[in-house]
Amino acid sequence: MTDPASGEKFYLDSQFGTGFRGTKVVKRDEATGRPTSVRGENPEQLRRILKQALGDSASIELSVVPAAPVVGMNTKPRPFFMPETEVGAIKSLLLTYDHLLRDSERPFTRSEALRPVREFVRSSVMDGRALDWASLKRFSLGLQYQLLPQIAKHRCSVEAPRTEFEHVMMVSGDPARKTLDAVWLIADTDPWGFRLADDWCGAYFTCLFVNGILRGTTASKPRWLDFPCVECKPTMMRSLPPALPHNEALVWKACADDVYTHVNVTRIEAYRRAVWYVEMHCDETVAQELAKIARANSEGDRSALCAVKERLARFYALRIKDDSDRRRFEDVVEGGIRKITDSLACQSMDGCGENEVNWGKWVPIHRGLLSDLV
């Protein structure tokens, strides 16, 4: 259960009482990084953590923190996406191409055919009026997963190294259909489709652009093709007005489960990739997280070895619930740990939370164990 006021998570017992799960450091000393305020469900465990951090002579006060009142569940249909997200995506796409093509002979963003979408974005962002749902439905066509193979094919023609979580933007003008369609593959995950104009009388074209979002990556130059490659179709994978016509409401209900399943699977995979990238590339972040686990160990074992094992166990918590899976997990971890030298295995944080660990050696060990588990 989540507290609607603070966003904190609680559990609800059989008597409908609320409580905390586990322990959480609420406040730390800015100078030393030692915890000065801890929250949890076990008073004795909290007392031991603070004694270890502050010393046996420290004065410790325990108090009861009640959870906020339980709010009734909302049974109204939840939107798949916030409409502000789609307006922001249209705005970002238009501004990106306007900047890219500022010196080009084909600045299609300045075309008269795009005046309605420009006015829609301006009024939505600056006028403070209620959202024009009819216009949003006209310009934003929803997620276009069916275009992913096509996007991947044309992405290969751009002379820029492929990087994780990159943006790919494609805009196509088709005077035969009188449309100017755009698709934005955001962070290599969600392909949003837009109809920027439905009265396009300009040339046939496609303009493709790739932009890396990680540190050290770069953006490509616009690549032009003399034929349209993108044709977006309206989908239900988008924000919808609070009140739908009866026939559309029936369609919404019929496809709701499919939409949630499709989108959730995509987002879960994107989250997994992001976690993996951090664990494999961001040394400082991984070292900081391992140090936090070592400092907060309730049993007093502040060793780097214990922190690494705990972090791996957290990653695999949902997969090692039964005994056989846990034994497989432990066999892999213990097999890797046997290769660690004694001098490394004995490194730990001291009682004041100071770092006595060579994280430059432990981070690669953590990565090796994680790779073995995968």
Q: Label residue 75 by pLDDT band (50, 70, 90).
A: very low
Say whether pLDDT at 351 is over 70.
no
Higher per-residue confidence, 33 vs 194: 194
Lowest mean pLDDT among 31-40, 198-207, 284-293: 31-40
Say whether pLDDT at 23 is over 90.
no
**For residue 372, what pLDDT is reported?**
92
Tens of pLDDT, residues 124-150:
999 877 889 889 999 999 999 999 999
Say whether pLDDT at 250 is over 70.
no
Say whether pLDDT at 303 is over 70.
yes
The average pLDDT across 224-240 equals 89
Q: Label residue 9 by pLDDT band (50, 70, 90).
A: low
Higher per-residue confidence, 14 vs 89: 89
**For residue 73, what pLDDT is reported?**
42
**For residue 14, what pLDDT is reported?**
47
**For residue 16, what pLDDT is reported?**
47
What's the chain's average pLDDT?
84
Say whether pLDDT at 363 is over 80.
yes
Q: Label residue 51 by pLDDT band (50, 70, 90).
A: confident
Instruction: Please state whether the predicted TM-score (pTM) of the whole model is above 0.85.
Output: no
Tens of pLDDT, residues 255-301:
667 777 777 888 888 999 999 999 999 999 999 999 888 888 767 78
Say whether pLDDT at 17 is over 60.
no
SS (H, E, C) the chain: CECCCCCCECEECCCCCEECCCEEEEEECCCCCCEEEEEECCHHHHHHHHHHHHCCCCCCCCCCCCCCCCCCCCCCCCCCCCHHHHHHHHHHHHHHHHHHCCCCCCCHHHCHHHHHHHHHHHHHHHCCCCCCHHHHHHHEEEECHHHHHHHHHHHCCCCCCCCCCCEEEEEEEECCCCEEEEEEEECCCEEEEEEEECCCCCCCEEEEEEECCCCCCCECCCEEECCCCCCCCCCCCCCCCCCCCHHHHHHHHHHHHHHHHHHHHHHHHHHHHHHHHHHHHCHHHHHHHHHHHHHCCCCCCCEHHHHHHHHHHHHCHHHCCCHHHHHHHHHHHHHHHCCCCHHHHCCECCCCCCCCCCHHHHHHHHHHHHHHHC
